[in-house]
């Protein structure tokens, strides 16, 4: 583990994740039927972990000081690339690639790189790099320089396939061949160009280079990644001629990833995602959830590609549980690590011109710093930027105060409207959707639902009423309910519903009226006239949901009988041990009451008996803090004194002076050794800058004291005559927890008289800390949100288990026709998923069964977005016995180099099916067209995710068959591929009464 003031972990929640669940690799098995046999490939993806980001302080540099004098905070927030250009005195020259805009002027007109520019060996020559996956030095050959932008290096023993796929992916990313399909916009030539136009340049001002380097290497695992410390190794200074070859802009590509999926388009998309992280790293760091969301937004909508679908990567069993999860959850256990997709789609929603636009959304996700104590997190970022949704950008900078008493806050409003926009995608008829852009996704996605609309709890029209106690929603989590075409429906909120849950009801338009969106608070009700689709949308927007107060933190210190620790021990002891261990990620002081130390007294001292067992640094591990202090422990306890000018200061207030006291003989007989957890910003907040960098401020006990209590003594003589409080500080990090610290016989004396020994009057004081809004970090970027007194950000997600719910009910005129959902939503084990690559001459058929007399109305097919050569997808109904067509074959377009990820088919001209009738829906590829950038070895395919459900027989719904050239492939040759897997297809089925003709009976539903 790493000290928090030395290395900034992705988030504190990451540390907790290690305690919550076992490590697990993701196994993705992809199968296809080729050459008369079943072919299988297996990808083993490691646990996603963010590389620790090195945090350094630039405040002492003249550049940082002059920067604040020369540039505006507003530009630093809303146009970070331009701000950085001014910061380094750079000028973009005509024709300069957006990724390197300003590089020429930096080399020519500034001394930033001291005249040194990184050079590379000629093509075909070797150079040694450090293989970060396998942790070894190795020789790499420069195989190609693509578009004069990307060096492709191959490690020894790589194959021609590794080379060809890596080079082809680089050609796709740079659009080296000028393919029209690879131009994100009319005026942007490539994915790479668009990425840098919107997000900013590559961080060449730290690398002194103008090339991206792709290192194709054998890692021992399946992944691709970048490391910001490569180019920030000398931050705030750039690398130099003494730096290692890896201290450059490097994209590490594992050969195992190419082996598992040799599709160059998928790999090029990974280029875009990881190089977005490179751009982000040049601006600093924010929470892992926000950075991954930004990179995932970039790889999809910003490049005019399909968004990463929810069914990508880690499997899950319940769409509604994922929807209700904490908005910042990032574990397999809590939300199957779907934070990538959810936050990317939030940015996609915001990027509409009517809301924040591309540039505004980019500014939001580029809000990053190099300083740990002001690292952007949640509403600490969102509430500032989102207050300008639908408005012009501000003309001057003014920080925003965080609202903790009302649900009317910018983040809550956007989260709720975003979920309404997702529900609007479920309305098939565009004319019946809302017209307000707050309730719509971008136009190219409005017919491609991101969420599975059939997964919502759904109430059919014939039942006439509905009620729901409300789902348990974690902070930022949502629930969506569907009322399927009720007539004259009234929706009511329970007066006792949690007020922290906001509810909006979306009613689709009718032939005579537009769509409506109405908000309901507890006790409210609303009626919608006519037959219309209705969605009840709820979000937990608890204004204190991502904050911590002292009350939230609770008490770490508490008093118990010391016999609990040592049999025979007499009296009470204060301890941080609960249930055998101290808590992780904890920091609390145990304080004495205010007292005035006698001015004339001599030999004023503090003493107590102590025993401890705390996590120390392992023997042989050598590390230093940013200020050069030797690191001795991870968790620890120290004693300090607060000196006050005001004798009536609040009992949690810091003193005018705060000094760490040193016991006689020192802490563990050590000299100026540091405990990592004392880097906690709340602990060091009252220190001056000079004392904060003094190793003495981070001294304390760590490790083990031995078997027995030991006497600890401190001199207080120099504070005679002053008002003071003594504070015993405990702090722990996110890792190992042990037996803790125990203290008894607390006593202050002077002139051999007891001044204080009432240990029961000691009290806990949790550290609650937030930086003053307007404070600028080392790069001049200001803190934009002010937390109220007594509140701080819940970075560790301490409240992640807290849920809220809002119960509601509805009534309507019962309908005559029943409604049913056939097929299966996506389900798969979290770490074991299966997919199928469908070839152009094949069709995969899923057998369904009519639940009553009726017809299918709407079919939705889910796909993965990576594909080759497919231009459309076809859905055809078929009879079970004869294979004859049922209804017309329907086609859904699949333009561009990625598939949209979801295809929705409106079904018409179907014969009525009697109850119990078995029939097939068959999926096949439509038009096939190779692209200029397709490799000669590429074979066209459509990629289908397989849902994991119970086995079915030939006479049951769920039976699957695969046909090639019209002939069924025997199940035994497919090695029981379909035994517990289906294509992911959902069909809405409507009843047709005996007394009505087909068209007349269901016309209102189509």
Indicate if the pLDDT at residue 64 is higher than 60. Answer: no
Calpha distance 69→82 (Å, rounded) = 16
Indicate if the pLDDT at residue 63 is higher than 50. Answer: no
Contact 605, 715 (CB under 8 A): yes
Question: Is the bond preceding 63 in cis, omega lying within 30 degrees of 0?
Answer: no
Calpha distance 348→355 (Å, rounded) = 10
CA-CA distances (angstroms) from residue 441 to 165, 345, 418, 549, 957? 34, 9, 8, 36, 34
Indicate if the pLDDT at residue 645 is higher than 70. Answer: yes
| Predicted confidence (pLDDT) per residue in 955-1003, tens digit | 999 999 999 999 999 888 888 889 899 999 999 999 998 864 433 333 3
pLDDT, position 620? 58
For CA atoms 638, 643, 648, 650, give the dihedral sign.
negative
| Predicted confidence (pLDDT) per residue in 529-553, tens digit | 999 999 999 999 999 999 999 999 9
CA 78 to chain centre: 22
Please report which confidence band the pLDDT of residue 70 belongs to, taking 50, 70 and 90 as the band edges.
Answer: very low
User: Between residues 512 and 999, which one has the greater pLDDT?
Assistant: 512
Instruction: Name, in order, each residue with C-beta under 8 angstroms of 311's C-beta and a sequence gap of 6 or more.
Output: 826, 828, 862, 864, 945, 984
Question: Is the bond preceding 440 in cis, omega lying within 30 degrees of 0?
Answer: no
Contact 708, 714 (CB under 8 A): no
pLDDT, position 631? 85
Per-residue tokens: 737: 């927890």
Calpha distance 513→130 (Å, rounded) = 65
pLDDT, position 62? 37
pTM over 0.85: yes
Calpha distance 98→180 (Å, rounded) = 19
- For helices 357-365 and 288-299, the axis angle rounded to 10 degrees is 150
pLDDT mean over 230-254: 96
Indicate if the pLDDT at residue 5 is higher than 60. Answer: no
Please report which confidence band the pLDDT of residue 672 belongs to, taking 50, 70 and 90 as the band edges.
Answer: low
Collapsing DSSP to helix, strand or coil, 362 comes out as helix
Calpha distance 798→868 (Å, rounded) = 45
For residue 653, what is the DSSP state? Answer: P
What is the torsion angle, in degrees rounded to the nearest 10, for the CA atoms of residue 970, residue 972, residue 975 and residue 978?
60
Collapsing DSSP to helix, strand or coil, 105 comes out as helix
pLDDT, position 47? 55
Please report which confidence band the pLDDT of residue 23 belongs to, taking 50, 70 and 90 as the band edges.
Answer: very low
Calpha distance 451→323 (Å, rounded) = 9
Helices (H), 706-821: none
Calpha distance 220→293 (Å, rounded) = 27
Collapsing DSSP to helix, strand or coil, 103 comes out as helix
pLDDT, position 995? 65
CA-CA distances (angstroms) from residue 97 to 12, 92, 190, 933? 38, 9, 11, 22
Indicate if the pLDDT at residue 186 is higher than 80. Answer: yes
pLDDT, position 1005? 34
pLDDT mean over 490-505: 98
| Predicted confidence (pLDDT) per residue in 96-114, tens digit | 999 999 999 999 999 999 9
pLDDT, position 658? 96
pLDDT, position 922? 98
For CA atoms 974, 977, 979, 982, give the dihedral sign.
negative
pLDDT, position 934? 78
Please report which confidence band the pLDDT of residue 1 belongs to, taking 50, 70 and 90 as the band edges.
Answer: very low
Calpha distance 212→229 (Å, rounded) = 15
- For the chain, the first-to-last Cα distance in angstroms comes to 59
Contact 570, 719 (CB under 8 A): no
Collapsing DSSP to helix, strand or coil, 39 comes out as strand
Contact 701, 729 (CB under 8 A): no
pLDDT, position 929? 87
H helix or E strand, kind and range, residue 804 = strand 803-804
Share of residues in the chain with pLDDT > 90 (%): 78
Contact 735, 588 (CB under 8 A): no
- The DSSP string of 556-615 is S-EEEEGGGTSTT--SEEEE--BTTBPPSS-EEEEEPPPEEPPSS-SS-EEEEEEEEE-P
Calpha distance 841→870 (Å, rounded) = 12
CA-CA distances (angstroms) from residue 573 to 360, 564, 742, 760? 55, 9, 6, 10
| Triad 410, 519, 391: Cα angle to 5° | 35
Instruction: Name, in order, each residue with C-beta under 8 angstroms of 451's C-beta and a sequence gap of 6 or more.
Output: 310, 319, 323, 422, 425, 426, 480
For residue 166, what is the DSSP state? Answer: H
Place of tokens 């300008």: 388
Please report which confidence band the pLDDT of residue 568 belongs to, taking 50, 70 and 90 as the band edges.
Answer: confident
| Predicted confidence (pLDDT) per residue in 297-337, tens digit | 999 989 999 999 999 999 999 999 999 999 999 999 899 99
Instruction: Name, in order, each residue with C-beta under 8 angstroms of 955's C-beta and a sequence gap of 6 or more.
Output: 918
pLDDT mean over 421-426: 98
pLDDT, position 257? 94
Which of 893, 824, 785 has its CA nearest to residue 382?
A: 785
Contact 514, 439 (CB under 8 A): no
* Partners of 637 in beta bridges: 701, 730
Please report which confidence band the pLDDT of residue 690 belongs to, taking 50, 70 and 90 as the band edges.
Answer: confident
Calpha distance 263→935 (Å, rounded) = 9
Instruction: Name, in order, each residue with C-beta under 8 angstroms of 404's C-beta and a sequence gap of 6 or more.
Output: 543, 544, 547, 788, 791
User: Between residues 280 and 41, which one has the greater pLDDT?
Assistant: 280
User: Between residues 29 and 215, which one has the greater pLDDT?
Assistant: 215
**Please, what is the average pLDDT of the chain?**
90
């Amino acid at each position: 583990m790493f000290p928090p003031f030395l290395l900034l972990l992705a988030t504190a929640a990451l540390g907790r994740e290690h305690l919550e669940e076992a490590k697990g690799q993701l196994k993705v098995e992809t199968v296809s039927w080729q050459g008369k046999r079943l072919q299988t490939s297996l990808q083993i993806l490691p646990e996603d972990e963010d590389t620790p980001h090195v945090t350094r302080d630039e405040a002492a540099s003249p550049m940082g000081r002059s920067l604040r004098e020369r540039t505006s905070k507003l530009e630093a927030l809303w146009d970070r690339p331009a701000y950085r250009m001014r910061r380094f005195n750079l000028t973009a020259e005509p024709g300069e690639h957006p990724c390197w805009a300003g590089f020429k002027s930096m080399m020519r007109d500034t001394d930033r790189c001291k005249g040194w520019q990184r050079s590379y060996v000629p093509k075909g020559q070797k150079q040694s790099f450090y293989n970060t996956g396998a942790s070894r030095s190795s020789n790499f050959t420069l195989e190609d320089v693509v578009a004069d932008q990307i060096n492709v290096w191959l490690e020894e023993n790589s194959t021609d396939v590794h080379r060809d796929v890596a080079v082809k992916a680089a050609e796709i990313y740079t659009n080296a061949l000028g393919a029209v399909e690879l131009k994100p916009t009319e005026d942007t030539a490539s994915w790479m160009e668009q990425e840098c136009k919107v997000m900013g340049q590559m961080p060449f001002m730290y690398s002194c280079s103008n090339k991206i380097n792709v290192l194709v290497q054998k890692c021992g695992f399946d992944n691709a990644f970048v490391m910001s410390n490569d180019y920030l190794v000398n931050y705030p200074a750039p690398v130099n001629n003494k730096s290692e070859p890896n201290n450059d802009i490097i994209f590490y590509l594992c050969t195992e990833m190419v082996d598992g999926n040799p599709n160059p388009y998928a790999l090029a998309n990974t280029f875009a995602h990881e190089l977005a992280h490179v751009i982000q790293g040049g601006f600093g760091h924010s929470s892992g959830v926000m950075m991954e969301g930004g990179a995932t937004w970039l790889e999809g909508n910003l490049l005019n590609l399909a968004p990463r679908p929810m069914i990508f990567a880690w499997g899950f069993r319940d769409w509604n549980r994922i929807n209700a999860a904490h908005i910042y959850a990032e574990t397999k256990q809590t939300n199957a690590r779907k934070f990538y997709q959810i936050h990317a789609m939030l940015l996609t929603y915001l990027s509409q011109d009517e809301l924040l636009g591309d540039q505004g959304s980019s500014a939001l996700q580029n809000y990053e710093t190099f300083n740990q104590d002001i690292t952007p997190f949640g509403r600490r970022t969102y509430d500032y930027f989102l207050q300008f949704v639908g408005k012009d950008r501000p003309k001057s900078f003014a920080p925003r105060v965080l609202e903790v008493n009302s649900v009317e806050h910018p983040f809550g409003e956007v989260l709720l409207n975003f979920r309404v926009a997702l529900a609007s995608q479920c309305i098939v008829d565009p004319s019946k959707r809302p017209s307000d852009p707050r309730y719509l996704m971008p136009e190219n996605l409005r017919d491609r639902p991101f969420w599975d609309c059939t997964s919502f709890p759904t109430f059919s029209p014939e039942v006439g009423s509905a009620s729901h106690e409300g789902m348990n929603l974690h902070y930022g989590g949502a629930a969506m309910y569907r009322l399927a075409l009720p007539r004259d429906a009234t929706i009511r909120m329970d007066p006792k519903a949690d007020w922290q849950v906001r509810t909006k009801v979306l009613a689709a338009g009718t032939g005579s009226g537009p769509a409506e969106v109405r908000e309901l608070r507890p006790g409210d009700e609303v009626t919608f006239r006519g037959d219309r689709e209705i969605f009840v949308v709820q979000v937990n927007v608890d204004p204190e949901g991502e904050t911590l107060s002292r009350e939230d933190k609770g008490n770490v210190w508490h008093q118990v009988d010391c016999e609990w620790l040592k049999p025979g021990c007499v009296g009470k002891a204060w301890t941080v041990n609960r249930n055998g261990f101290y808590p992780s990620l904890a920091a609390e002081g145990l304080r004495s009451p205010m007292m005035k130390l006698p001015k004339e007294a001599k030999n004023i001292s503090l003493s107590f008996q102590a025993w401890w067992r705390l996590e120390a640094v392992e023997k042989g591990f050598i590390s230093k803090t940013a200020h050069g202090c030797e690191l001795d422990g991870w968790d620890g306890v120290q004693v300090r004194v607060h000196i006050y000018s005001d004798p009536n200061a609040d009992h949690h207030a810091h003193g005018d002076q705060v000094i760490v006291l040193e016991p006689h003989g020192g802490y563990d007989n050590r000299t100026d050794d540091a405990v990592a957890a004392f880097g906690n910003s709340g602990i060091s907040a009252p220190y001056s800058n000079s004392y904060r960098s003094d190793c003495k401020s981070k001294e304390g006990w760590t490790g083990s004291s031995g078997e027995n209590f030991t006497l600890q003594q401190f001199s207080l003589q120099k504070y005679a005559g002053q008002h003071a409080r003594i504070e015993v500080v405990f702090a722990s990090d996110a890792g190992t927890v042990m037996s803790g610290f125990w203290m008894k016989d607390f006593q202050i004396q002077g002139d051999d008289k007891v001044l204080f020994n009432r240990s029961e009057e000691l009290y806990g004081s949790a550290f609650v800390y937030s930086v003053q809004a307007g404070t600028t970090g080392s790069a001049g970027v200001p803190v934009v949100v002010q937390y109220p007194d007594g509140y701080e950000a819940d970075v560790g997600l301490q409240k992640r288990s807290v849920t809220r719910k809002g119960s509601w009910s509805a009534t309507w005129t019962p309908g005559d026709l029943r409604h049913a959902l056939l097929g299966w939503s996506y389900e798969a084990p979290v770490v074991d998923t299966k997919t199928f690559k469908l070839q152009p001459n094949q069709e995969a058929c899923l057998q369904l069964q009519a639940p009553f007399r009726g017809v299918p109305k709407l079919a939705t097919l889910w796909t993965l977005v990576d594909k080759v050569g497919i231009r459309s997808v076809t859905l055809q109904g078929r009879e079970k016995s004869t294979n004859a067509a049922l209804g017309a074959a329907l086609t859904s377009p699949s333009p561009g180099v990625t598939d949209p990820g979801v295809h929705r088919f409106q079904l018409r001209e179907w014969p009525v099916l009697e109850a119990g009738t078995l029939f097939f829906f068959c999926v096949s590829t439509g038009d096939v067209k190779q692209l200029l950038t397709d490799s000669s070895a590429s074979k066209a395919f459509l990629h289908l995710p397989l849902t994991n459900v119970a086995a079915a027989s030939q006479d049951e719904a769920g039976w699957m068959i695969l046909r090639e050239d019209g002939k069924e492939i025997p199940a035994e040759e497919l090695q029981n591929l379909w035994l517990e897997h289906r294509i992911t297809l959902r069909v809405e089925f409507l009843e047709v009464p005996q007394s009505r003709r087909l068209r007349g009976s269901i016309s209102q539903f189509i």
